[in-house]
Amino acid sequence: MSSICVFLGPTLPREDAERELDATFLPPVAQGDVIRVCADKPKAIGIIDGYFENIPSVWHKEILFAIQSGIPVFGASSMGALRASELHPFGMIGVGAIFEAFRDGRLEDDDEVAVVHGPAELGYPSLSEAMVNIRRTLADAVAGGVLSASTCLRLEAIAKELPYRERGYGRMLRLAADIGLPADELAMFKNWLPIGRFDQKRDDARLMLRTMRRVLGRADSAPQPRFHFERTILWDRAVRDAIPHTM
């Protein structure tokens, strides 16, 4: 196992990630995974994708434990951006536009980064589109003269109202046509989309891996903890659950 561990799923194909950073790429992070990884004392941990809903999400405290142990923890794109926006005051290193939007309060809802995806053996193919990607693509369409600002806002609202599992450009455009948004603009956007669609999550993931490579090349890459880590009964139970033979 490489001394750098990165939790990755649908955001970026593994082969692309391997070209950016020499690391051990693990499945999307879930509760207890960071505790288990810390037992191997990695040089750094990166979080891109993570589970939620049906599988307990990575616990904030296990990330704090890694930082307190002198392990740099980076986050971007998806679950990583969410946790980094919450924990950057404690030393977690957030990277990318999505992290910055959550950190600054311009985005607040977790569903902004949520997607449905296929199984690991198929490479976690995305079956829906992240709202953050739709927002960026619509903004680019306005900048390129493909959409008017008013139509962009209406399309954003339509996409945001969709459950994240059903979110996608095709569904958004069908609903937009149903309520009478300008047909010429919708047609122009649909024709532009194959070359204009922007994947903000993927872009941020690549940036995080490049940032890790650069930062970890420095001698002073280990973070200085900015907090006191409190060991509690719940924490001890979490460690026992994650690493059963730990006393």
Average pLDDT over residues 16-24: 96
What pLDDT, on the 0 to 100 scale, is given for residue 71?
Answer: 93
What pLDDT, on the 0 to 100 scale, is given for residue 247?
Answer: 36
Of the two residues 168 and 230, the one the predictor is more confident about is 168
Average pLDDT over residues 2-14: 92
Distance CA 46, CA 12 (A): 13
Res. 136: pLDDT tops 90: yes
Res. 246: pLDDT tops 50: no
Average pLDDT over residues 106-121: 92
> pTM to 2 decimals?
0.90
What pLDDT, on the 0 to 100 scale, is given for residue 240?
Answer: 78
Confidence of residue 222 (pLDDT cuts 50, 70, 90): low
Domain boundaries of the chain, sorted by first residue = 4-109+201-238, 120-200
Of the listed ranges 81-95, 150-164, 193-207, 216-230, the least confidently predicted one is: 216-230
What pLDDT, on the 0 to 100 scale, is given for residue 23?
Answer: 96
Residue partners of 73: CB distance under 8 A and separation at least 6: 34, 44, 45, 46, 47, 63, 66, 67, 87, 91, 92, 93, 223
Long-range contacts of 15-23 (CB under 8 A, 24+ apart): 16/206, 17/205, 17/209, 20/206, 20/209, 20/210, 20/213, 21/46, 21/209, 21/210, 21/212, 21/213, 23/209, 23/212
Q: Mean pLDDT in the chain?
A: 92
What pLDDT, on the 0 to 100 scale, is given for residue 219?
Answer: 62
